[in-house]
Chains A and B, each alone.
Chain A
Amino acid sequence: MRQRKRMLEQLDADIREHIERETQDNIERGMSPEDARHAAHRKFGNVTHVIEETRAVWSAVWLEQLLADIRFGLRMLRKNLGFTAVAVLTLALGIGANAAVFSVVYAVLLRPLPYQAPSSLIVLNETTPMVGTVSVSYPNFLDWRNQSRTFSEMSAIRGVGFNLAGVTQPENISGDAVSPNFLSMMGVRPFLGRDFYASEEKAGTPPVILLSYSLWQSHFGGDPNIVGRTIKLDDRSFTIVGVLPSNYRSLDKTDVMLPIGVWITDNSEDVKERGSRGDLGVIGRLATGVSLTKARAEMEGIAARLATEYPASNDRFGVALQPIRDAFVSDIRPAILVLFGAVMFVLLIACANVANLFLVRGASRSKEVALRIALGASRGRIISQMLTESFVLAVLGGVLGLALAVAGIGGMSRLIPADMLSGATVNLNGAVLLFAACAVALASFIFGLAPALHSTKPDVQSELKEGGRGASVGAGQNRLRAALAIAEISLALILLVGAGLMMKSLYRLLAVDPGFRPDRVLRLEMDLRTQQYSKDPAVLNFWQQVLDKVRVLPGVEAAAVGTHVPLTDSHGRTDITMEGMAVPAPGNYPHPDVHTISPGFVETLGVSLLRGRTFTDTDDEKAQLVGMINAMTAKRFFPNEDPIGKRFLFGHPSAKNAPKWRTIVGVVSDTKLYGLANPARLEVYVPLRQDAASDMTLLVKSGADPAALTSAIREAVQSIDKDQPLFAISTMKELVSNSVATRRMTLVLLGLFSGLALVLGAIGIYGVISYSVAQRTHEIGIRMALGAPRGDVFRLVVGQGLKLAGIGIAIGILAAFGLARLMSSLLYGVSVTDFETFAGVAILLVLVALLACYVPARRAMRVDPIVALRYE
């Protein structure tokens, strides 16, 4: 480059010098100085033109060559339309699938979160060996914040819900109460209005609120003068102080945001109670230069000190730290990565197929190549020209692939459960385009290089000397083509094993007994939040009226209310004490899930009663305190006796208050609260009238389609309280189905990709075998002339195909043994080396290979020895 600059800078002077010398020579020959100069110029030619030409030497050569190559490539592709169509389509499928899956990878795993320096934002939770990760108690958060030096800032986020009496229908909205520093710590500035004041952390702060961008649009028509107006939530007025930006993203749906002081005002008891851990999370920003490891060490030390200091609430409680990105994607990451790997395999198979096509065509072009090499074209020149041709092909495939990807992205975003995306938008964007461009470039190298290197190999040049038929190809090329077919089979096998394992997992998972009968059950949530429900009798009265009205609706078989229905995220857990059990350390108390239920709940949800009785209307506030336990609790505490009549109490025994013992009246089956794949837990049920709850789920069992009852139920509820919203409406069937949505998506896509791989692999084998039959027509003819039965010929050809398939299957099985491990977290009830799956897939591939060989084998059988021999 430097040489170029120096040479061109002095070019003018060099030319002047040259002309000067010529002029001098001419003068010496006796010309007049003027004539001498003219003659010298004439002899030199057009100076400007010379300078231009010389410049071109340094600049445009490669570009011109490239353009010429591209034109040549396009011409070659136009000449072989069949070849081009097959190759472009194959590549389009591979690149399109890759672009579609990458759009999800990018949206979920790579796109920067809309926060300032998101990599130093850490989500903190408490942990307990009893259940794992849990929410943080407010007093613990305050101590963490005060004592930590590794975090420059920390902020509490408490999930909150409100009832919004809307214009048409009342609705339930959700949001976060946050420490006032939250938005500035995240690097988020309100789109309109102001951030919270530091003073708004204290109890008694006036109720102010920030609206989400979408709520501002939908409920206030994007009013630019929104700041200062009020919004009525439950039955309180909140002053709107601003609007969040439209790209604000949080872990849960955020309709509104308020300073935590407002929440503290309403929950002064909760805030003081160190043992109360309810839906409060903490996000912190690491101080400059502090690693996650260091922060974790410090926080674990703080948690340990708190556990010693407050054993009653903190015994055995630790702390968990995770980067904020992980909090967004931890559930779906393994599935996405497995799919991304799978789709890469599909692209590799597509490349192998196209490489095979190129080799076949390369054979017919080998004379052309040999001739050009003999005429002095360098091998590098020809390789680069052939690569350009591959590249042109790959670009065509990429363009078509992007069109396929647009369709694929639409399909995939419907398949992926929305809550798994946590607000990520999957679309075709610059990053996806860049990825597709890289895929195109890489693919053209993968499928172009081997054939290009191969057909310019010196031994192929003997082609010219042979002067024979273009069809004769060396053994080297056949080996390469066989290797490609084997690679395709191996890759297809790996994908099929993945899909097979996924299918078996899903089958096993859906066969799991959830502990309840989801058929024909509708679930609707209600949260009684207004002042009129501040006293228990009003709450109980409301639920009773709802049940009375809903139970008489036509088509309703049964109805009940209860808290924390299975497979929703909702849960409530507390320590219990069994009468007579050895008093454990504070952190070792049994910690069951507690359901507050109306009579009929067990029957409506279809939970089996194993012993004793369920609750009745007589289990009310005046009656003896009663409860039910699940089978697991019964087995844990009463392995050899009848639990009926035994007693327990909530919390730990206390010397101060008289113990409130509850008598066990029934034992019911375990339910899969936290997903079909997760183990059952201890569960306890108490009657609604003895433990009033204002946030409950209404379950309705119908005789027919439960969803059809929705509007009748809504009317019934609003005839009692017109401002009371119903939300989270779905059938229990849908909940079961959604709980396996990630696995189903993985299965559907893996199935699709492996199907594609199977077809491409079959085409690969078919191509190799039918080409080899064409090549061996002469040999087959001789064999038949010498008396070989047609059956032998058939077996010869099929045997050749099966050999390829066999090697491919063997390699694939070995690789799949290693790779299946990577998807172990997606599997359920099936080992990563499941024999049935591996054997089934191997058999499937053998059958497909047989099918792929059948047509060429039939063709070989029909070879006429006379014609074949005359052919040469």
Chain B
Amino acid sequence: MSTKEQRERIELLQGTLDLLILRTLLLGPRHGHAIAKAIEFNSEDVLQVEQGSLYPALHRLIKRAWISVEEGTSENNRRAKFYRLTPNGRRQLALETRKWDKLAGAIARILRPAEQEGEP
């Protein structure tokens, strides 16, 4: 049994990964490997996702009907699963993004209170 605190930390991480996946798929359907690559590339390799953790996240998003899945062939004619953002997922992404902005803003204000109060 892991302690409660650990589990909460994992949950936070999962939520973030979900958001990143949704954001990546906003640009169009991708297969699993491409999603991982895109996240790494777009974050300029700051976010080093353990690629395996992508799969529980993908399945969770499918279950919530935020993304759908279809069979297809990739650029070099190989069989692959393509994940696509659903309208539900699109709404969720918008919601999560707003929340994220708020949270990030709030944390930023807490971490640098001087910048706000220091100005006369």
Interface residues of A (CB under 8 A from B): 3-4, 7, 10-11, 14-15, 17-18, 21-22, 25, 43-47, 49-51, 53-54, 56-58, 376
- Distance to closest chain A CB from B30 (angstroms): 12
B80 near A54 with CB under 8 A, answer no
Task: List 9 contacting pairs A-B, 8 Å CB cutoff, sorted by A.
Answer: A3-B62, A11-B55, A15-B52, A45-B50, A53-B53, A53-B55, A57-B56, A58-B59, A376-B99
Within 8 Å CB of B37, what residues of A?
25
Contact B78 A49 (CB under 8 A): no
**Contacts A7-B59, A58-B59: A17 and B78 contacting too (C-beta < 8 A)?**
yes
With an 8 A cutoff between CB atoms, is B112 at the interface? no
Give a binary string over B71-108; 1 marks a CB under 8 Å from any A CB, 0 the rest: 00000001111000000000000000001000000000
With a cutoff of 8 Å between Cβ atoms, the chain B residues found around residue A44 in the complex are 50-52
Return chain B residues, CB-CB under 8 Å to A17. Answer: 32-33, 78-80
- Measured in the bound complex, the distance between the Cα atoms of B57 and A45 in whole Å is 15
Chain B interface helix/strand/loop/mixed: helix
* Least Cβ–Cβ distance between A2 and chain B, in angstroms: 12
CB proximity of B97 to chain A, nearest CB, Å: 13
Cβ–Cβ < 8 Å partners of B33 in chain A = 17-18, 21-22
Residues in A whose Cβ lies below 8 Å from that of B99: 376
Tell me which residues across on chain A come within 8 A of B63, comparing CB atoms. 4, 57-58
Q: Which residues of B contact A54 (CB under 8 A)?
A: 55-56, 59
Q: Which secondary structure characterizes the binding site on chain A?
A: helix
A14 touching B51, Cβ below 8 Å: no
Q: Which of A4, A14, A45, A57 is close to B32, meaning CB atoms less than 8 Å apart?
A: A14
Residue of A nearest to B4 (CB): A68
11 new A-B pairs (CB below 8 Å) besides A7-B62, A17-B79, A45-B51?
A17-B33, A17-B80, A25-B37, A43-B51, A44-B51, A44-B52, A50-B52, A53-B55, A53-B56, A54-B56, A57-B56
Minimum C-beta distance from B82 to chain A (A): 11
Q: Which residues of A contact B62 (CB under 8 A)?
A: 3, 7
Minimum CB–CB distance from A24 to chain B (whole Å) comes to 9
Chain A residues lying within 8 Å of B80, measured Cβ to Cβ, are 17
| Shortest distance from the beta carbon of B52 to any chain A beta carbon, whole Å | 4
The residue of chain A having its C-beta at the shortest distance from the C-beta of B79 within the complex is A17
Nearest chain B residue, comparing its CB with the CB of A6:
B69
Let me know if B32 and A18 touch, CB within 8 A.
yes
Judged by a CB distance under 8 angstroms, whether B60 is at the interface is yes
Flag if B79 contacts A50 (CB, 8 Å). no
Q: Pick the contact of A50 from B36, B53, B69, B78 — CB < 8 Å?
A: B53
Q: Which residues of B contact A53 (CB under 8 A)?
A: 53, 55-56
Number of A-B contacts (CB under 8 A): 56
B56, A18: Cβ atoms closer than 8 Å: no
Shortest CB-to-CB span from B7 to chain A, Å, is: 10
Residues of chain B contacted by A51 (CB below 8 angstroms): 55
Give residues in B with beta carbon < 8 Å to A: 32-33, 36-37, 50-53, 55-56, 59-60, 62-63, 69, 78-81, 99
Q: How far is the CA of A11 from the CA of B81 in the complex (A)?
A: 10
Provide the bound-state CA to CA distance between A236 and B6, in Å: 88
Chain A residues with Cβ under 8 A from B81's Cβ? 10, 14
**Contact partner of A45 among B53, B69, B79, CB < 8 A?**
B53
Contact B50 A43 (CB under 8 A): yes
What is the distance, in angstroms, from B73's C-beta to the closest C-beta of chain A?
12
Q: How far is the CA of A700 from the CA of B18 in the complex (A)?
A: 93
What CA separation (Å) do A22 and B50 show in the bound complex?
13
- Residues of A near B79 (CB, < 8 A) are 17
What's the Cα separation between A57 and B62 when bound, in Å? Answer: 10
Q: Which residue of B lies closest to A11 (CB)?
A: B55
Docked Cα-Cα span, A57 to B32, in Å, equals 17
Query: Which of chain B's residues have a CB closer than 8 A to the CB of A25?
Result: 37
Give B60's nearest chain A residue, CB to CB. Answer: A57
Report the bound CA distance from A43 to B69 in whole Å: 24
| Cα of A50 to Cα of B50 in the assembled complex, Å | 10
Q: Is the CB of A22 within 8 A of B51?
A: yes
Smallest Cβ distance from A830 to chain B, in angstroms? 63
Name the B residues within 8 Å of A21 (CB-CB): 33
Task: Give the distance in Å from the alpha carbon of A57 to the alpha carbon of B63 in the complex.
Answer: 8
How many angstroms between the C-alpha atoms of A53 and B13 in the bound complex? 14
Q: A17-B78, A17-B79, A21-B33 are in contact. Are A57 and B59 (CB under 8 A)?
A: yes
| CA–CA, A47 and B99, complex, Å | 33
Q: Are A49 and B52 in contact (CB under 8 A)?
A: yes
C-alpha gap A56/B36 in the complex (Å) = 21
A45 vs B33: C-alpha distance when bound (angstroms): 14
Residues of A within 8 A of B56 (CB): 50, 53-54, 56-57
- Specify which chain B residues have a CB less than 8 angstroms from the CB of A4 in the assembled complex: 63
**Roughly how many angstroms separate A50 CA and B81 CA in the complex, as a whole number?**
17
CB-CB under 8 A for A47 and B52, given A21-B33, A58-B59, A376-B99? yes
* B69: nearest chain-A partner, CB-CB: A7
Residues of B within 8 A of A50 (CB): 52-53, 55-56
Which residue of chain B is the closest to A8 with respect to CB atoms? B59
Name the residue of chain A whose CB is nearest to the CB of B15: A376
Q: How far is the CB of A273 from chain B (nearest CB, A)?
A: 81
Which residues on the B side are within 8 Å of A11 (C-beta)? 55
What distance in Å separates the Cβ of A527 from its nearest Cβ neighbour in chain B? Answer: 76
Residues of B within 8 A of A43 (CB): 50-51
Q: How far is the CA of A10 from the CA of B58 in the complex (A)?
A: 13
Give Cα distance in the complex from A594 to B32, angstroms.
Answer: 98
Q: Which of A3, A14, A376 contacts B55 (CB 8 A)?
A: A14
- Bound Cα distance A3, B81 (Å): 14
Q: Please name the 3 residue pairs, one residue from A and one from B, whose CB atoms are nearest each other, closest first.
A: A45-B52, A50-B52, A53-B56
Return chain A residues, CB-CB under 8 Å to B51: 18, 22, 43-45
- In the assembled complex, which residues on chain B have CB atoms less than 8 Å from the CB atom of A46? 52
Q: How far is the CA of A56 from the CA of B14 in the complex (A)?
A: 14
How many Å from the CB of A16 to the closest CB on chain B? 11
> Which of the listed residues B55, B80, B81 has the most CB atoms from chain A within 10 Å of its own CB?
B55
A582 to B51 CA separation, bound complex (whole angstroms): 110
Q: Kindly list chain A residues whose C-beta atoms are within 8 Å of the C-beta of B69.
A: 7
Cβ–Cβ < 8 Å partners of B32 in chain A: 14, 17-18
